[in-house]
A and B are shown apart, each in its own frame.
Chain A
């Protein structure tokens, strides 16, 4: 075990796989000597050199296209889009190429690539957009969002080994904010599992990213009142671990879904629908979703703080489902 931050764990995952498999290479903007945005590629260039750690022009569509093509000829590219805000610039390559290739070639072709990107409100407030729901909508993509250092590494390793295109969403707030024990050797975290982070019998909070930590903190607070909150970390959005989710709801009979992305059409809508479809009669209260309001994410800190869902919103939602 070593104590690693979330970002150190991500880099450790990439490094270990690059050591293990010569077909793995990494490309992105400023990922070379500079060490990547927010230190997200620190030390990789120094260890692996310019053939395997490649600085790219500001050409996102070509970068993802290049990853798709390299994957088609048997390489294992990791391509970094510095921030999730720029995903629209390479949408065609992700949605039309990467996602379709395996199915449309009758299962002959496969695209083992990892597209990593940074999302969410972070220390420097730039590029906070959370577009993960768009990709969970598209068949043929895996979409993951680890919330702990241990999973950051384990899911990165699993994503690199996986034969599919994996969209890997890294939360910027978590980058340096959480530090945890991370196993040193070879291990993977499954890419299709949700994790019960805290058990409870009164209400389930299903959350992603930073919201998992906020839900845990709300759960801690409510424990003092004798309320037991079960926190489910939806670390994999696509495919979603529907069994863990519904099992939890069947136990607690109450559900809150929380994410930082916009509430309307957000991934929480899929989670709520799944539960409504499969365990409606187990519910004792209407489902409550927590997400951002229906406006672009404002930049100024006071506005951002008013805008984004926070611990208070999670707490209020939990109280609402308990009161119903």
Chain B
């Protein structure tokens, strides 16, 4: 959320497949259509054709259409190229996982963005795992942010469970990109509290580690920070939660009631644009 807050409406975003709906929602996507998409319903933005991770393209969202990790970085760099080419001040922000930073695609994308000084911000959602593998087993050097140095661009590590810290870091990098100073790489350290997939048997993480990270849940932390700053009081927080719960519940029931895609959505003659 911190990665996408405060952007211009016409900045291009490419969200990691983990948690993209919040980014799309902030862009004005219809929550029930997003849920519908996760359920494969006809009302989803891809009408059931793509994985549930995509969003409304017309809102300057780069669509997620393939299962392979890493290619979205190159596409985001390409969007930044297009924006630089047209001489606009728009930027692209792309988020991705720590595991994905081991793909060659990551390195090629960052290098290209750096040599061409493209207006793109790379934000690594470093949750320390790629499925069952801890970063210490697969991520040489231990730091994604440090990889920026090799490409001569700023690399910054932030507490990814501190929404305001993430927003501050990304905001500064976006400012640089908008000002023509080129790309930055931000590593936001976080944790995946759930399984990699719904039925993930787990077993590769210690319970103590889970406990430790549960205590650092970014949502109560943001709530605490806002309260301490006197921005909200207990009543306001409760009303926000109630509103959010009601909105999500309504979106879920609307999505559940939505029709399944049928032959009309199949579009067998739509592989090529006309």
A residues near B, CB below 8 A?
Answer: 29-30, 32-34, 55-62, 83, 85-86, 88-89, 126-127, 293-296, 298-303, 306-307
A-B contacts, 15 of them at CB < 8 A, read A32-B132, A34-B204, A55-B133, A59-B102, A62-B104, A85-B67, A86-B68, A126-B51, A296-B65, A296-B271, A301-B40, A301-B260, A302-B40, A302-B261, A306-B263
**In the complex, what distance in Å separates the CA atom of A221 from the CA atom of B40?**
33
Q: CB < 8 Å: which of B46, B66, B105, B260 contacts A302?
A: B260
Least Cβ–Cβ distance between A197 and chain B, in angstroms: 31
**In the complex, what distance in Å separates the CA atom of A300 from the CA atom of B44?**
10
Chain B residues positioned under 8 Å from A33 (CB to CB): 132, 203-204
Least Cβ–Cβ distance between B201 and chain A, in angstroms: 8
Q: Is B130 an interface residue (CB 8 A)?
A: yes
Report, nearest first, the 7 A-B pairs whose CB atoms are least far apart.
A300-B48, A300-B40, A57-B102, A57-B138, A34-B132, A295-B271, A298-B49
User: When the two chains form their complex, are residues A299 and B49 in contact, meaning their CB atoms are under 8 A apart?
Assistant: yes
**In the complex, what distance in Å separates the CA atom of A209 from the CA atom of B105?**
32
Chain B residues positioned under 8 Å from A301 (CB to CB): 40, 260
User: When the two chains form their complex, are residues A303 and B131 in contact, meaning their CB atoms are under 8 A apart?
Assistant: no
User: When the two chains form their complex, are residues A300 and B49 in contact, meaning their CB atoms are under 8 A apart?
Assistant: yes
Least Cβ–Cβ distance between A316 and chain B, in angstroms: 17
Q: Is B234 an interface residue (CB 8 A)?
A: no
**In the complex, what distance in Å separates the CA atom of A278 from the CA atom of B204?**
56
User: When the two chains form their complex, are residues B104 and A303 in contact, meaning their CB atoms are under 8 A apart?
Assistant: no
**In the complex, what distance in Å separates the CA atom of A303 from the CA atom of B262?**
6
Chain B residues numbered 14-28 whose CB sits less than 8 Å from any CB in chain A = none
User: When the two chains form their complex, are residues B67 and A295 in contact, meaning their CB atoms are under 8 A apart?
Assistant: no
User: When the two chains form their complex, are residues B266 and A306 in contact, meaning their CB atoms are under 8 A apart?
Assistant: yes
Q: How many residues of B contact A (CB 8 A)?
A: 40
User: When the two chains form their complex, are residues B132 and A58 in contact, meaning their CB atoms are under 8 A apart?
Assistant: no
Among A30, A55, A296, A299, max chain B CB count under 10 A is at A299
Least Cβ–Cβ distance between B133 and chain A, in angstroms: 5
Chain B residues positioned under 8 Å from A295 (CB to CB): 266-268, 270-271
Q: Is B137 an interface residue (CB 8 A)?
A: yes
Q: Is B190 an interface residue (CB 8 A)?
A: no
The chain B residue sitting closest to A292, CB to CB, is B268
Chain B residues positioned under 8 Å from A88 (CB to CB): 68
User: When the two chains form their complex, are residues B133 and A127 in contact, meaning their CB atoms are under 8 A apart?
Assistant: no
Chain B residues positioned under 8 Å from A30 (CB to CB): 131-133
Q: Is B160 an interface residue (CB 8 A)?
A: no
Least Cβ–Cβ distance between B58 and chain A, in angstroms: 21
Chain B residues positioned under 8 Å from A293 (CB to CB): 268
**In the complex, what distance in Å separates the CA atom of A56 from the CA atom of B132?**
11
**In the complex, what distance in Å separates the CA atom of A29 from the CA atom of B138?**
10
Q: Is B251 an interface residue (CB 8 A)?
A: no
Chain A residues positioned under 8 Å from B155 (CB to CB): none
The chain B residue sitting closest to A55, CB to CB, is B133
Q: Is B103 an interface residue (CB 8 A)?
A: yes
Least Cβ–Cβ distance between B210 and chain A, in angstroms: 17
User: When the two chains form their complex, are residues A299 and B68 in contact, meaning their CB atoms are under 8 A apart?
Assistant: no
Q: CB < 8 Å: which of B131, B139, B261, B271 contacts A29?
A: B131
User: When the two chains form their complex, are residues A298 and B266 in contact, meaning their CB atoms are under 8 A apart?
Assistant: yes
Chain B residues numbered 226-273 whose CB sits less than 8 Å from any CB in chain A = 260-263, 265-268, 270-271
Given contacts A29-B131, A33-B203, A55-B138, whether A299 and B268 have CB atoms under 8 Å apart is: no
